[in-house]
Every structure is written in C-alpha cells, then in structure tokens.
C-alpha cells in the first residue's frame, strides 16, 4: 500500500517542475541544432561584437549570457573576450556574463524544483544528509569546487544548485569565487592563442594543465569527505 502511494506521489509532478524540464530540454535541443546547422561557431561571438561598434561591451555580455543559457562552451566566451578586449578586460566581461546567466538558471530552478526535490529526499536519509552537507552547510564551498573542478557542465551546475537548495548567498559567493580562476586562466590562453610559440602561451597552457589536475584531485577528495 505504501509503495502504491509513493508511486502515486512520484507521478504527481508539479507543473513548475515539468516546465523546468521542458525548458532544459528545449535549450539543450536548440544547442544541438545550432551546432549541427552551423548557426553558432567559435568565431560567431567575435564577429557579432566587432560589428556592433561602440556597443561591443554590452553586446558581448548579452551574447555570452545567451550562449551559456544554451549550454554552449563557456571556454568560447572567455577566449573570445580575451581576443577582443585583452585578457584582463575580457576576463572581467566574461565574469559579468557568466554570473548573470548562472543567476538566471539558479533562480529559475530554485523557484520550480527545490520543494519537490526536498520531498523526494525525505524518504532517503543518506541522500538527504549528503545533500544537506553539500547544499546547506557547505554551500559556498561546494559551489567553488563545482566551478573550479571540471565535473559537470557550467549551466547544469547552476540548475542543480537551485533545485538542491543551495542558499542564495552561498551560491553568489561560491559561484563568483569559483569562476575567477577559470576566467583568468582561459583568458590568458585566449590572449596568446594566435602565438602558440610565445612564452605567454606556453606558460599559460602549463599553468592550465597543472590547475586542471590539481583541482580534479582536490575536488574528488572533497566530495569523498562528505559522502
């Protein structure tokens, strides 16, 4: 009897959760279609910004938000910003766009699915305990790790932070801190992308590889400690 009731509860998925699922599915579908049809390519963002003239900064930020909401690689945005505006200004503009797109995904997911996920975890004490550690007690630190360590897609992490109950303050702090290393490193690589034999490119690539390995090891240990 309890199983039947539980199954009935699972079937009654709130409309907001269904809407969130449809939104995610449509955005992923549009991403795949855009890439397959050649509507969006790595050079699309630089071309659009160059044609916008004095509004280049604003156009870059808006387009970077759109690209990331459509699940396209964040690395494209950062490197394009470095090539267009220089590594430091490009990194700063990328951070603005990254943060804005992350906040949109987070609050959409938080408003649609957080309560439903909490109810689903009510009958799973272990999962609820781990989620509480990651999302509530260590919310900001978890966001830093998820942004620094290449575990999951940038946009997916933003949605998951919302539905799992990461507090807004923790999300903002952790998201911002976690975005900075990648923004700086990718911008440095992007700024010297067309000079692959230059010391700047070689050093930045070396630092990027070391950072990738170090964060992967550190992230694995962090999640093992709370599992």
pLDDT for 43-65, tens place per residue?
888 888 888 888 889 999 999 99
To the nearest 10°, report the CA torsion of 45, 50, 52, 54. 130
Residue 74: burial class (beta carbons within 10 Å; 0-12, 13-18, 19+): buried
Residue 31 to residue 17: CA distance in whole angstroms: 21
Phi, psi of 73 (to 5 degrees): -60, 125
Q: Which of 14, 31, 40 is nearest to 156 (CA)?
A: 31
The DSSP 8-state label assigned to residue 30 in this structure reads H
Is the model more confident about 7 or about 206? 206
pLDDT tens digit string along 72-127? 888 888 888 888 898 889 899 999 999 999 999 999 988 887 777 777 776 676 66
Residue 79 to residue 202: CA distance in whole angstroms: 16
Residue 128 banded pLDDT, cuts 50, 70, 90: low
């Amino acid at each position: 009897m309890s199983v039947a009731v539980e199954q009935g509860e699972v079937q009654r998925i709130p409309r907001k959760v269904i809407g969130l699922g449809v939104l995610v599915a449509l955005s992923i579908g549009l991403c795949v279609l855009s890439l397959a049809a050649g509507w969006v390519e790595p050079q699309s963002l630089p071309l659009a910004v160059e044609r916008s003239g004095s509004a280049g900064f604003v156009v870059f930020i808006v387009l970077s938000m759109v690209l990331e909401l459509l699940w396209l690689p964040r690395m494209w945005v950062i490197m394009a910003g470095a090539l267009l505006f220089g590594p430091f200004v490009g990194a700063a503009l990328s951070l603005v766009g990254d943060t804005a797109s992350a906040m949109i995904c987070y609050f959409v997911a938080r408003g649609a699915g957080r309560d439903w996920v909490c109810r689903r975890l009510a009958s799973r004490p272990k999962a609820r305990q781990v989620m509480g550690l990651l999302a509530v007690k260590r919310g900001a630190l978890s966001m830093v790790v998820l942004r620094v360590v290449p575990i999951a897609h940038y946009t997916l992490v933003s949605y998951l932070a919302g539905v799992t109950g990461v507090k807004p303050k923790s999300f903002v702090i952790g998201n911002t801190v976690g975005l900075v290393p990648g923004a700086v490193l990718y911008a440095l690589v992007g700024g010297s992308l067309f000079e692959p034999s230059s010391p700047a490119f070689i050093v930045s690539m070396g630092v990027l590889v070391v950072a990738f390995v170090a964060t992967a090891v550190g992230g694995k240990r962090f999640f093992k400690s709370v599992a």
